[in-house]
Amino acid sequence: MIRLFSGVCACFLAFTSAVTAQSNVPEFSGGVTAIGQRANDERIASLITASADLFITLERETGSWLLYLEANPSPADDGVASQLIESNADAGSSLDQDRKGRAQISELNYTFQFTQSTLTAGLIDPSGYLDRTRITNDENVQFMGAGFVNNPTIEFPDYSVGIAFQRAAGNGLPEFNAVLSTGTPQAIMGSIFEPE
């Protein structure tokens, strides 16, 4: 039996810069996550993984723009995150089709704000609108295991072009969310960690 020791030195460094609504100055927030893991099997190398997330929001009169940038290096092929895939949902969260680390634009969209609802269009994360839970929705600050981040039985596209509608709960009605998306990952990427 392989035992996994997640010396969750999960350092999540976060920052935020606040601005007033409808300002011409964007709001920046984000963080860096570093996780060290070791297994009791000499065939699996200990590994420290890292990722960076940056959110840039620009409030406008009718809503807001969102730009979400995400980056991480390639996990080692013989490391914990690659050999025990379910052990670290954050490792390799922005890999290309060859499993190489990269920086990518994960979301770029505009959200129209109405009285009780919003309409978002552009490059979106469909699972963020449909598979919603306050506890298991963030691999950076809650659970590291991939099986505990969102619903593992539903294959949502990671980031895709789409439209999302959300109506807040109120007046005796439950929250309502609807998404129409391409179903094909469309994240805009550029390999910056490992040149081709």
**Which carries the bigger pLDDT value, residue 8 or residue 38?**
38
| pLDDT at residue number 76 | 81
> Using CA of residue 73, residue 151, residue 63, residue 25, what is the dihedral sign?
negative
- pLDDT, residue 120, reads 97
For the chain, the distance separating the N- and C-terminal CA atoms, rounded to the nearest angstrom, is 38
* 119-176 pLDDT per residue, tens: 999 999 888 888 776 666 666 666 666 666 666 677 777 788 999 999 988 888 888 9
Q: What is the domain count for the chain? A: 1
Q: What is the pLDDT of residues 90-105, one digit of tens each?
A: 777 777 878 788 899 9
pLDDT, mean over the chain: 77
Residue 193 has pLDDT above 60, yes or no: no
Mean pLDDT of 54-59: 95
Assign 46 a pLDDT band (cuts: 50, 70, 90): confident
* DSSP category for residue 73: P
pLDDT of residue 17: 55
pLDDT of residue 139: 61
Domain-located, residue 196: no
Phi then psi dihedrals of residue 142, to 5 deg: -110, -105
Cβ contacts of 163 within 8 Å, gap of 6 or more: 119, 120, 121, 124, 179, 180, 181
In a domain, 131, yes or no: yes
Do 14 and 34 meet the contact criterion of CB atoms below 8 Å apart?
A: no
Is 121 within a domain? Answer: yes
Which domain, by its residues, includes 32? Answer: 4-190
Give 117-127 pLDDT, tens digit per residue: 999 999 998 88
Here the tokens at position 177 are: 């969310």
Q: Give the type of residue at 49.
A: T
As a whole number of angstroms, the distance between CA 191 and CA 178 comes to 33
